[in-house]
């Protein structure tokens, strides 16, 4: 599958084994590629889950409760992408995000979102509250 421009920039795996690859492009469109994994460990056919301006500048991604969380660094936001490829911003510059590059969800019950974000000359992992209540597992 051709990636054009920059190429793969993040990878994660859901609990069912499906692998997702974030593709950063020079255009205003970001892309998430979905690769099912077979029981024997071989990969199935790669398909595009989402290609959208909503994830332009896609960088780090992580799987959480059936969703994908995407650091859209050129937009200073973190976007939740559900299994139907619907998007929702869950953290942004109002939460002090500056060029976020990766995301992680605390496995503890409160489900805190940690984001690696550039502020001035420092990179720090910051814990932000969710703009929207996290989905229940």
Domain boundaries, the chain: 7-128
What is the reported pLDDT for 2? 55
- Topology classification of domain 7-128: Neuraminidase (2.120.10)
Residue 98 pLDDT > 90: no
Strands (E), the chain: 7-13, 19-24, 30-35, 47-52, 58-64, 67-72, 77-81, 87-91, 102-105, 113-119, 122-128
- Bigger pLDDT: 6 or 31? 31
φ, ψ dihedrals at 103, nearest 5°: -135, 150
Q: Across all residues in the chain, what is the average pLDDT?
A: 79
pTM comes to 0.79
In DSSP terms, 115 is beta-bridged to: 103, 126
Q: Confirm if 85 and 73 have CB atoms less than 8 A apart.
A: no
What is the reported pLDDT for 137? 45
Nearby residues of 121 by Cβ (< 8 Å), 6 or more positions away: none
What is the reported pLDDT for 20? 94
């Amino acid at each position: 599958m051709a990636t054009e421009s920059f190429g793969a920039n993040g990878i994660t795996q859901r609990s069912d084994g499906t692998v997702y690859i974030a593709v950063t492009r020079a255009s205003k469109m970001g892309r998430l590629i979905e690769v099912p994994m077979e029981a024997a460990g071989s990969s199935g056919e790669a398909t595009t889950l989402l290609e959208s301006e909503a994830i332009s500048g896609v960088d780090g991604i992580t799987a959480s409760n059936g969703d994908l969380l995407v650091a859209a660094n050129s937009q200073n936001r973190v976007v939740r992408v559900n299994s139907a490829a619907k998007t929702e911003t869950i953290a942004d510059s109002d939460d002090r995000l500056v060029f976020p590059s990766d995301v992680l969800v605390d496995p503890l019950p409160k489900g805190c979102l940690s984001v690696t974000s550039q502020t001035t000359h420092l990179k720090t992992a910051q814990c932000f509250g969710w703009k929207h209540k996290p989905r229940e597992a």
